[in-house]
Structure 1
Amino acid sequence: MKIKKIIYTVFLFFISCNFFIAASPPRIIPYILASEVPLAGNAFITESATGSTETITNSGLENWTSENTVVSTYFKVSNAGILSISLKANIPLGNSNVKVTINGVSQNVSINSSSYQIYSVGDFNVSPGYVKVDLQGLTKTGNYFGNVSHIIFDGPAALGNNVFCNDPNYYYWARRGPSCHLAYTVPTSNDVLYYYNEVKIPAGEDKIGSFFMVNGFQEGYFGIQVNSETERRVLFSVWSPFPTDDPNNIPEDHKIKLNCKGTDVVTGEFGNEGAGGKSYLQFNWQPDVTYKFLLKGQPDGTGKTDYSAWFFAPELGIWKLIASWKRPFTNTYLKSFYSFTENFYPDYGYLGRKAEYGNQWVQTLQGEWLPISQAKFTVDATYTANQRVDASGGTVNNTFFLRNGGFTNEVTPLNFYFNVATPTQAPDINVNDLPICGTLSVKNSNIRNDIKLYPNPAHSFIKIKGLNANFWYKIFSSDGKIVKQGLNTGNEININDLLKGSYVIYLYTDKQQGSFKFIKN
């Protein structure tokens, strides 16, 4: 009798449990191995109309009002098969119907609670690799389709190693995407004075937010950017030796000082990823065009090092000075030659980008050009922390390439060495003709040695001795700006309107061209 009573009691317990389960609102009961993907670090607004209000915040998708907006969330699975998908969501008022799409297959789900609930969507068949989950609003009774904090997935395809950003410290960096690098093998232990490199961005790979860094060195970087639909830059920056992300914290004696800059170059300070001096030229560089970069690093003999950068665009046909910076507490020639590809706008982190780097050379202090034929592939902490892994590299057309973003499934072993055929044609650059502080770029200068500028220093005028023909001239300030120009017919050149300082005058006739430095007192 006692045994029958126990059996009856257990029976009633299970009956009551089933009653309460049946009476509860329909909700997913997650598998033990279910993964919750926070939209805060893995989602992007991939389609939207003008005036849309949707945003991705540290809480996930918010202000979801437009049926034209598509929000895409990405994660990577290692197995093929069925994925069961759920949403963790709420809606401030009313209810809504939402479409969830994977690989072209869509299922709908209703959101109807003001508190966060887990809503089961259904099963989808996926392949190994990155999975894209699209959300799009269909109907709503209030102003919002809801707020979504997580995509939850489980099922057979979820077994194994899955990749997505689950660390709040990486939300910002994961939405930017992992950066990847080429560390070049420099074939000498001698002091290196110049780095030379070329880059071409294939058509369609020049996405907004891209930074294709070409000539990296131990104390800074030099490359090209896509800053907006209407602006592109050539950027050259040098880090301060003072460890900080805020330039305002740098002591005066640790600041990066500008020696000079090229015409139309903007200079200032930068922060957030280290801090120091920056310089950039707004230049509308184009895909499928090869651009050349030259960098010089030379100690000045006082415990500081001067870093100077030049950019060659075939559209211009000349080497253009970007800037020359002086770094304190530094006494070294160039070290740690590298390139990288990255995205600096989180909202564009779902887009892929690619750069091809080729024909690398270094010039030693003795003036010998040496070719580079090997580079090591490395990645940043976002990748190594397994928060996002769509970065790869390789070789193509005897150049090195880097690719990041786009949630591709290409895999490149970390610290893998790539090799290309050794370049044979050294850069055709006369470094003495390069524009730099106190000089001017004068290619093939052929002005006679007996032609002189006087007086120097000068107060109110300068004259050119030995040049009998009429000549044109341009006077440049120390920061590369033209401050005076004209045609001289043999008379003195009035400089009363110039401020005190150093200048360069560039002279040219039909047969001769050259430059002189002078000082205005």
Structure 2
Amino acid sequence: MNVLNWIQICLFLTTCMHFGTPDKTHTGHEANLVRVPIGGNSWVTNELERDKTISKDGLTNWSSPASTVTTYVRFDKAGSLNLSINLRVADGKSRLRVTLLGQSKEVDVQGSTFVDYPLGQWSVAKAGYIKIVLQGISKTGATYADVTNFGISGEVIDERTAFVRDNEGNFFYWGRRGPSVHLRYPIPDGVEAEWFYNEVTVPKGSDIIGSYYMANGFGEGYFGMQVNSPTERRILFSVWSPFKTDNPSQIPDDQKILLDRKGADVVTNDFGNEGSGGQSYLRYNWVAGQTYKFLLRGQPVENGYTTYTAYFRAPDATNWQLIASFKRPKTTTYLKSLYSFLENFTPQTGNIQREVDFSNQWVRSRDGQWQELTKAQFTGDNTAKKAFRMDYAGGLKDNKRFFLRNCGFFDTYTPLKTDLTRPAQPQSPNINVAVLP
């Protein structure tokens, strides 16, 4: 046997020992080891298996070779990364491939007890998100493996390493939905805003299933447009009851949202699970790349109610369309706490980037004067505030409109509570509110 053959055999045996069998006493980790749960940070590419393979317990029922599993982690700096994977194999043996940072390694796994398999040390060149791609190569049993987490340690790990750390508060669900982001518009001092006008444009390619592009939010509800399925889109307007519950059947009669009127083809019902109240929607196949107009009215009326009325106008329409008008009890106020947001309500698409533009915001006071809203503050939900996800951004586009972006695990983020200002527009909305339906 020559020296070259001997070296090749030694390298082969070393590789098999390091990556082919679990080391229960040493996984190559440093003292700052943390674990990245599959249940809150991973997605399956195979649509036929994605709903049944990722759960709060991690990756299970993984049987298809087409089901590639991708896990995302964000590092705030460059440096070394030690990696391991915690798994078990219910029966038989499997070979898995792990790919990250442009390199792949394979590992042979077996055994019905959860153990850590070391995956070596990697070099992270810059701050930002990395994706860890897990693929099944071969198996002798029914499934490849059940996987709970990736272990990470090394120079890149610090308090700013971003991923969904645990399921407390159901954050595996919220984390996989992705961070919701908002634009909060301050109303000029002394203005009692009866009307709120906004324009919304979803760029081409950003109309992702599960997206809500909310244009006209206010203290008691919201109004915008959604992508609900491959074949359905909606214009949605909702008003919360003053009674705090996620179950609309629990709302007392004197605190229920009352429908005053609705537009043609508009569906109305109760809603729950995120507060409760009255909901209305129009099935309407809006088109990415076009600009849609939203108009909201808030008007105090008799007996301690405020009426909220929503109007929608497509770019090819000559008139405003009534969506619905609701009366909210125990409320006497004009519009307040105005905002827009971008959210994803489908965890299965929380790994896909989306974006929306908001432009030409105005309010009309109770005495009929239009006031432009040129300022906004960028904010985020708890997923963003906890830094479980940092793929969020907002700002000014083309020096004339605000934008929001989320999901997709892009690297550059906008700090929360960033104040934004857009240039003023020369013309207020040309709307004769007296003739609206």
TM-score (norm 2): 0.91
1:345 Cα deviation (Å)? 0.5
CA distance in 1 between partners of 2:334 and 2:213 (Å): 23
Q: Residue 192 of structure 1 contacts residue 365 of structure 1 at CA under 8 Å; is this kept in 2?
A: yes
Letter of the aligned partner of 2:205 in structure 1?
Answer: G
Task: Give CA-to-partner distance per residue, 1:233-279, whole Å, 9 cap, x none.
Answer: 10000000001111111111111011111111111111111110000
Q: Which residue of 1 aligns with 2:79?
A: 81
Find the residue that maps to 1:426 and give its secondary structure: coil
Task: Give CA-to-partner distance per residue, 1:438-493, whole Å, 9 cap, x none.
Answer: xxxxxxxxxxxxxxxxxxxxxxxxxxxxxxxxxxxxxxxxxxxxxxxxxxxxxxxx
Q: Residue 280 of structure 2 contacts residue 323 of structure 2 at CA under 8 Å; is this kept in 1?
A: yes
CA distance in 2 between partners of 1:434 and 1:203 (Å): 31
Q: Which residue of 2 aligns with 1:461?
A: none
1:53 Cα deviation (Å)? 7.2
1:298 Cα deviation (Å)? 0.5
Letter of the aligned partner of 2:132 in structure 1?
Answer: V
1:120 Cα deviation (Å)? 1.1
Q: Which residue of 1 aligns with 2:133?
A: 134
Q: Which residue of 1 aligns with 2:4?
A: none
Higher-RCO chain (CA-CA 8 Å, sequence separation at least 6):
2
Q: Residue 187 of structure 2 contacts residue 336 of structure 2 at CA under 8 Å; is this kept in 1?
A: no
1:104 Cα deviation (Å)? 2.7
Q: Which residue of 2 aligns with 1:399?
A: 401
Find the residue that maps to 1:302 and give its secondary structure: helix
1:196 Cα deviation (Å)? 0.2
1:122 Cα deviation (Å)? 2.3
CA distance in 1 between partners of 2:214 and 2:30 (Å): 45
Cα 1:122–1:368 shift into 2, 3 Å: same
Letter of the aligned partner of 1:421 in structure 2?
Answer: P
Q: Which residue of 2 aligns with 1:384?
A: 385
Q: Residue 71 of structure 2 contacts residue 132 of structure 2 at CA under 8 Å; is this kept in 1?
A: yes
Cα 1:288–1:376 shift into 2, 3 Å: same
Q: Which residue of 1 aligns with 2:342?
A: 341
1:387 Cα deviation (Å)? 1.6
Q: Which residue of 2 aligns with 1:497?
A: none
Find the residue that maps to 1:171 and give its secondary structure: helix
Cα 1:254–1:52 shift into 2, 3 Å: closer
Find the residue that maps to 1:383 and give its secondary structure: helix
1:81 Cα deviation (Å)? 2.7
CA distance in 1 between partners of 2:60 and 2:135 (Å): 13
Q: Which residue of 1 aligns with 2:358?
A: 357
CA distance in 1 between partners of 2:229 and 2:123 (Å): 38
CA distance in 2 between partners of 1:93 and 1:371 (Å): 66
Q: Which residue of 2 aligns with 1:252?
A: 253
Q: Residue 52 of structure 1 contacts residue 65 of structure 1 at CA under 8 Å; is this kept in 2?
A: no
CA distance in 2 between partners of 1:220 and 1:147 (Å): 42
| Residue from 117, 121, 126 that aligns with 1:119 | 117
Task: Give CA-to-partner distance per residue, 1:288-330, whole Å, 9 cap, x none.
Answer: 1000000001111210011000000013332111000010000
Q: Which residue of 1 aligns with 2:197?
A: 196
1:77 Cα deviation (Å)? 1.1
CA distance in 1 between partners of 2:28 and 2:104 (Å): 22
Cα 1:53–1:137 shift into 2, 3 Å: farther
1:188-337 alignment runs, 5 A limit: 188-337=189-338
Number of residue-to-residue matches in the alignment = 413
CA distance in 2 between partners of 1:75 and 1:305 (Å): 46
Tell me which structure has the larger Cα radius of gyration: 1
1:159 Cα deviation (Å)? 4.8
TM-score (norm 1): 0.77
CA distance in 2 between partners of 1:53 and 1:383 (Å): 24
Task: Give CA-to-partner distance per residue, 1:173-227, whole Å, 9 cap, x none.
Answer: 1111111111112224232110000010111111111001000000000001011
CA distance in 2 between partners of 1:40 and 1:56 (Å): 6
Q: Residue 52 of structure 1 contacts residue 66 of structure 1 at CA under 8 Å; is this kept in 2?
A: no
Q: Please list every run of 5 or more consecutive structure 1 residues that lacks an aligned counterpart in the other structure.
A: 1-21, 436-521
CA distance in 1 between partners of 2:247 and 2:70 (Å): 34
Q: Which residue of 2 aligns with 1:94?
A: 92
Letter of the aligned partner of 2:282 in structure 1?
Answer: L
CA distance in 2 between partners of 1:244 and 1:407 (Å): 33
Q: Which residue of 2 aligns with 1:493?
A: none
Find the residue that maps to 1:423 and give its secondary structure: coil
Letter of the aligned partner of 1:306 in structure 2?
Answer: T
Find the residue that maps to 2:132 and give its secondary structure: strand
1:24 Cα deviation (Å)? 6.9
Find the residue that maps to 1:382 and give its secondary structure: helix
Which runs of at least 4 in structure 1 moved beyond 6 Å after TM superposition?
22-26
> Is 1:58 matched up with 2:56?
yes
> Is 1:108 matched up with 2:106?
yes
